[in-house]
């Protein structure tokens, strides 16, 4: 019966909580009970099962384990999950989760996620849409490997399944207040209880503020904020649980969250030769000084940004889950309906060049950011017989993504471009042309000629037109050799709008046949139909594009002065995607549809009560999409004809064993996995924009192992895991790519380990809690994670490499025996480990890849790398105190 089921679920959640962390209040009432592995319940197959009966790799984390590790959002979750990384880049709206070295870079909303996020049964189509304060958690299940049969497309690498606390029919009140370093202040609370015999509610709210983790040199201004990556976050979540009869339950959830913060500046991890130009243009130092020989720089949290990096994120939604038990149908079945509507939006400001010079920026004015509006509906009918657990369902979603993308030229853009061009010409001419901030107008002067009284003279004079052609070599200003041509107008740029509409419909089934009492076979299939359309307008602001057009009109004169190859480079610099006249008022209209059959087959055999062995095959699917950005055909100034990229698929094989030992108090699970991805959607920032290139093949194989031990020591439990990953791109050439011109920037990939794929990843958490007598209880917890070295950049450039590191969180608690109050002292990243989240190419700051093959067989030569590299950093050590109370 539904009412009894809800009550059993509440009790089961309490037992699971006790299982993974010795909760003193429960332990005091049940001193003689021994916590066992069987108490750990998961819903990885859309039905409640013991973790040890599920032939899937699942890391399950209880409310107490999450609380003691300081988990507030998905990014915090990675310290408890081996083989998983979560990173943010230019804003917290650009968040990416990866499992077993596979994930989608989050800066481009045109790409869907490889790791699905599901909150209370509602699928979030982008990791960023699921990123925020998760509120009161019952548990989190991290499912590894393709989960498309039950959780749908875009779960090709795994699923983060988040289950929050339901309303309670027992009145309760919970609250907490926190203070910490970096000026952290936080308060949250919830109240729950019955409104009638059949209706219960829960209301939760939280507010968190904190100063930033970065110190910012504001350079030229007008930015006034001298810190960055702060926190200013609020959320409210209301629920109703209605049990009108014994066979029916309805759970309504309404939530709203808002962030209003500054995030995220990057810091230089290597300053290249262009740093000298930035310093000349900026007020004071505009960038970190280069190290001798342009080597990597020491770790520092000093950032340079003259423009504001404000971010606003609004997230709101409503969902309704209805369950109807039908005892007389199909031998007893349950119909489940999950309906949701969500609206998510972000608005961002950005210092595009991440320096103190005023080169380029985006304003937080409603013209830069994106929104995701989503409607979903799922119906599932499930039942069981003595030999069969069956489930059939349908899923439908309609989604509208609107991206507004802007770019504006700062006052230093034109002289910076002049510095770049003149430095290149100075090197190629043997010093005949000086390095100057004033030559841009040489190339764009109407009717320019190539000779000494034209372009050559203009370049030789640094744009002044003063040439040594007078008596005795005296300087004479030649008007036709002056840089009087068009530059890049300050405050102009572009303002593009993209609207992507998509619909998806799927039918699915998942069935487990108990062939014998020991042997089960699970068959699952899902047929998905996707349709996506793109309607965009790429539009230059004001006279933007005029400099590009003027340089193009002078191509013959430029070639005559510096050669044809040099002319192509100059015009390419004037006609970068953000300044190219070809994008002015350019409509982008595309529509594609696709179908995909995915599924799984699993076989499991229980050798005895302690050991379950299983093997499985699964096929996953990640939908096609559009690169919502300005993109050139690589090596040209011609816009690409289509922003489309194809679907990604994965074939996964697993074989594992689940062992329950030591009188069922020790869980030991291990699984071998082999995953082959085809058309892996690689999103890469090349220093001027993002490109999406399907990589023909990526293989990820290795071993996942998990452990939970409820030790004989009262109140002490251990949980941990190890993931060994051997991930590798297949060997490919330019001819294997959709756009062969993208190969130079991808030339380090063939046969190499992909980014964010450490060979080893290990976690261990220790939780201890017990009665101290005299009405008090106390405890402590430690959670740590080790990751071996890995590269943090999609293009695998060496300066983006992160060395092996370990992070540790800890907490000490003291409170009343009945948990009415608890005082905690806590610290995150106790050892203040210094590590990179993501490394990236400094925009417009140097040459990273060459245009020809180098002696090492790639297009990268370390000796010729002139690039400046920036990075978004991991969080530093934070610490504080939290007071919890409950009634």
| pLDDT given for residue 392 in this prediction | 97
Which residues have a Cβ under 8 Å from the Cβ of 578 and sit 6 or more positions away?
360, 407, 493, 494, 630, 688, 689
pLDDT tens digits, one per residue of 807-849: 999 999 999 999 999 999 999 999 999 999 999 999 999 999 9
- pLDDT confidence of residue 113: 86
Cα of 644 vs its chain's centroid, Å: 21
CB 11 within 8 A of CB 48: no
Give me 343's structure tokens: 């609206």
- Using the 8-state DSSP alphabet, how is residue 194 labeled? E
pLDDT at position 551, please? 97
How much of the chain, in percent, has pLDDT values that exceed 90? 84
| pLDDT tens per residue across span 10-49 | 433 333 343 433 333 333 334 446 778 888 889 988 888 8
Answer for the pair 44, 58: CB distance below 8 angstroms, yes or no: yes
Q: What is the pLDDT of residue 11?
A: 37
pLDDT digits (tens, 9 = 90+) for 63-107: 889 988 888 888 899 999 999 999 988 887 788 899 999 988 767
pLDDT in tens, 412-471: 999 999 999 999 999 999 999 999 999 999 999 999 999 999 999 999 999 999 999 999
pLDDT on residue 46: 87
CB 852 within 8 A of CB 845: no
Mean pLDDT of 617-624: 93
Name the token pair of 774: 């005299």
SS3 state of residue 41 = strand
Q: Please, which pLDDT band fits residue 9 given cuts at 50, 70 and 90?
A: very low
Considering only the C-alpha atoms of the chain, give the largest distance between any 2 of them, rounded to a whole number of Å.
110
The residue whose two tokens read 């017989």 is 385
| Structure confidence by residue, pLDDT tens digits, 221-247 | 999 999 999 999 999 999 999 999 999
337-356 burial, b if ≥16 CB within 10 A, otherwise e?
ebbbbbebbbbbbbbbbbbb
Residue corresponding to tokens 């700051």? 845
Closest C-alpha among 268, 241, 261 to residue 252 = 241
Asked if 259 and 311 touch (Cβ cutoff 8 Å), the reply is yes
Question: In this predicted model, what pLDDT tens digit does every residue of 112-138 receive, in sequence order?
Answer: 888 999 999 999 877 676 667 888 999
Residue 357: closest CA among 843, 690, 839:
843
648 near 618, Cβ under 8 Å? Answer: no
CA distance 187 to 727: 42
pLDDT tens digits for range 258-283: 999 999 999 999 999 999 999 999 99
Question: Strand order in 84-88's β-sheet?
Answer: 84-88, 95-99, 102-103
Residue 212 sits at φ, ψ, to 5 deg, of -80, 160
Cβ neighbors of 108 (< 8 A, separation 6 or more) are 627, 628, 629, 683, 690, 692
Among 838, 780, 834, smallest CA distance to 806 is for 834
C-alpha–C-alpha distance, residues 393 and 526, integer Å: 9
Above 80 in pLDDT, residue 707?
Answer: yes
Judged on CB neighbours under 10 Å (0-12, 13-18, 19+), 879 is: middle
Average pLDDT taken over every residue of the chain: 92
Contact (Cβ atoms closer than 8 angstroms) between residue 248 and residue 198: no
The confidence score (pLDDT) of residue 13 equals: 38
User: Which residues lie across from 693 on neighbouring strands?
Assistant: 682
Nearest to 803, CA basis, from 823, 788, 793: 788
The predicted-structure confidence for 338-350, as pLDDT tens digits, reads as follows 999 999 999 999 9
The confidence band for 139, taking pLDDT boundaries of 50, 70 and 90, is very high
Helix, strand, coil percentages in the chain from 3-state DSSP, rounded to 5 = 15, 45, 35
pLDDT at 10: 40
- Angle at which helix 413-428 crosses helix 564-574, to 10 degrees, equals 170
Q: What is the pLDDT of residue 129?
A: 67
- Crossing angle for the helix pair 546-553 and 555-562, to the nearest 10 degrees: 60
Q: How many CB atoms lie within 10 A of CB 522?
A: 21
pLDDT band at 331 (very low <50, low <70, confident <90, very high): confident
Distance between CA atoms of residues 371 and 313, nearest Å = 9
pLDDT (0 to 100) of residue 20: 39
Six-digit token string for 610: 């302690």
What does the pLDDT read at residue 130? 60
Q: Which residues contact 37 (CB under 8 A, 6 or more apart)?
A: 19, 50, 51, 52, 660, 664, 665, 666, 667, 708, 710
Q: Which pLDDT does position 38 carry in this prediction?
A: 80
Confidence of residue 2 (pLDDT cuts 50, 70, 90): low
Q: Smallest Cα–Cα separation from 627: which of 401, 330, 339?
A: 401
């Amino acid at each position: 019966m539904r009412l009894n089921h809800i009550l059993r679920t509440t009790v089961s959640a309490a037992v699971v909580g006790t299982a993974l962390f010795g909760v003193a209040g429960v332990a005091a009432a049940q001193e003689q009970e021994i916590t066992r592995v069987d108490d750990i319940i998961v819903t990885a197959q859309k039905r409640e099962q013991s973790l040890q009966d599920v032939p899937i790799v699942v890391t399950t984390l209880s409310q107490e384990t999450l609380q003691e590790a300081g988990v507030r959002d998905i990014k915090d979750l990675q310290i408890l999950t081996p083989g998983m990384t979560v990173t943010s880049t230019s804003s917290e709206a650009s968040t990416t989760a990866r499992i077993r070295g596979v994930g989608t870079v989050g800066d481009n909303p045109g790409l869907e996620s490889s790791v699905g996020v599901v909150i209370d049964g509602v699928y979030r189509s982008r990791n960023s849409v699921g990123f925020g304060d998760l509120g009161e958690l019952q548990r989190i299940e991290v499912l590894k490997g393709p989960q498309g049969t039950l959780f749908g497309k875009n779960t090709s690498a795994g699923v983060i399944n988040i289950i929050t606390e339901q309303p309670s029919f027992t009145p309760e009140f919970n609250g907490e207040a926190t203070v910490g370093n970096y000026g952290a202040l936080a308060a949250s609370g919830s109240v729950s209880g019955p409104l009638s015999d059949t209706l219960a509610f829960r209301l939760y709210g939280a507010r968190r503020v904190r100063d930033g983790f970065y110190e910012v040199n504001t350079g030229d201004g007008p930015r006034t904020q001298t810190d960055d990556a702060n926190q200013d976050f609020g959320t409210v979540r209301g629920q109703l649980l209605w049990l009108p009869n014994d066979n029916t339950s309805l759970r309504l959830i309404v939530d709203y969250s808002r962030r209003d913060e500054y995030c995220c500046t990057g810091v230089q991890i290597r300053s290249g030769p262009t740093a000298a130009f930035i310093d000349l243009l900026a007020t004071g130092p505009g960038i970190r000084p280069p190290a001798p020989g342009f080597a990597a720089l020491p770790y520092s949290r000093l950032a340079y940004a003259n423009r504001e990096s404000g971010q606003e994120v609004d997230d709101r939604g409503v969902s309704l889950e209805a369950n109807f038990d039908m005892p007389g149908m199909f031998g007893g079945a349950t119909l489940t309906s999950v309906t949701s509507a969500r609206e998510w939006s972000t608005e961002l400001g950005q210092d595009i060049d991440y320096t103190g010079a005023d080169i380029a920026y985006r304003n937080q004015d409603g013209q830069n950011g994106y929104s995701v509006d989503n409607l979903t509906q799922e119906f599932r009918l499930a039942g069981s017989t003595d030999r069969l657990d069956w489930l059939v369902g349908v899923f439908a979603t309609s989604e509208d993504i609107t991206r507004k993308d802007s770019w504006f030229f700062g006052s230093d853009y034109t002289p910076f471009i002049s510095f770049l061009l003149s430095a290149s010409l100075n090197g190629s001419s043997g010093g005949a042309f000086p390095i100057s901030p004033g030559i841009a107008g040489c190339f764009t002067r109407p009717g320019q000629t190539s000779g000494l009284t034209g372009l050559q003279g203009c370049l030789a004079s640094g744009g002044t037109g003063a040439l040594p052609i007078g008596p005795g070599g005296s300087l004479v200003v030649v008007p036709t050799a002056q840089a009087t041509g068009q530059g890049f107008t300050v405050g102009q740029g572009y303002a593009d709008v993209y609207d992507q509409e998509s619909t998806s419909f799927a039918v699915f089934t998942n069935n487990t046949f108990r062939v014998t009492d020991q042997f089960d076979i699970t068959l699952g299939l899902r047929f998905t139909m996707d349709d996506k359309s793109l309607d965009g307008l790429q539009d230059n602001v004001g006279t933007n594009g005029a400099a590009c057009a003027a340089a193009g009109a002078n191509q013959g004169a430029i070639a005559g002065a510096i050669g044809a190859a040099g002319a192509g480079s100059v015009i390419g610099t004037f006609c970068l995607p953000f300044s190219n006249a070809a994008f002015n008022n350019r409509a982008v209209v595309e529509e594609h549809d696709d179908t995909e059959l995915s599924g799984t087959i699993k076989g499991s055999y229980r050798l005895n009560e302690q050991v379950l062995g299983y093997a499985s095959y699964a096929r996953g699917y990640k939908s096609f999409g559009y690169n919502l950005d300005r993109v050139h055909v690589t090596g040209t100034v011609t816009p690409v004809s289509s922003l489309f990229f194809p679907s990604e698929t994965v074939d996964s094989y697993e074989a594992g064993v689940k062992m329950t030992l030591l009188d069922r108090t020790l869980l030991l699970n291990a699984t071998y996995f082999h995953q082959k991805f085809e058309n892996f959607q690689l999103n890469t920032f090349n220093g001027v924009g993002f490109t999406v290139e399907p990589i023909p093949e990526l293989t990820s194989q290795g071993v996942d192992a998990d452990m939970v031990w409820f030790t004989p020591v009262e109140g002490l439990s251990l949980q941990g895991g190890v993931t060994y990953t051997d991930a590798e791109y297949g060997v490919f050439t330019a001819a294997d790519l959709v756009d062969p011109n993208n190969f130079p920037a991808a030339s380090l990939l063939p046969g190499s380990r992909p980014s964010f794929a450490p060979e080893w990843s290990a976690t261990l958490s220790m939780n201890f809690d017990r009665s101290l007598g005299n009405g008090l209880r106390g405890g402590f917890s430690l959670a740590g994670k080790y990751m071996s070295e890995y590269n943090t950049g999609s293009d695998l450039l060496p300066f983006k490499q992160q060395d092996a590191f370990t992070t540790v969180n800890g907490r000490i608690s003291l409170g009343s025996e009945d948990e009415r109050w608890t005082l905690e002292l806590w610290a995150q990243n106790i050892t203040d480990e210094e590590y990179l989240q993501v490394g990236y190419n400094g925009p417009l700051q140097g040459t990273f890849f060459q245009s020809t093959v180098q002696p090492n067989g790639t297009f990268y030569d370390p000796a010729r790398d002139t690039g400046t590299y920036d990075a978004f950093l991991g969080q530093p050590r934070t610490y504080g105190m939290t007071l919890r109370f409950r009634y």
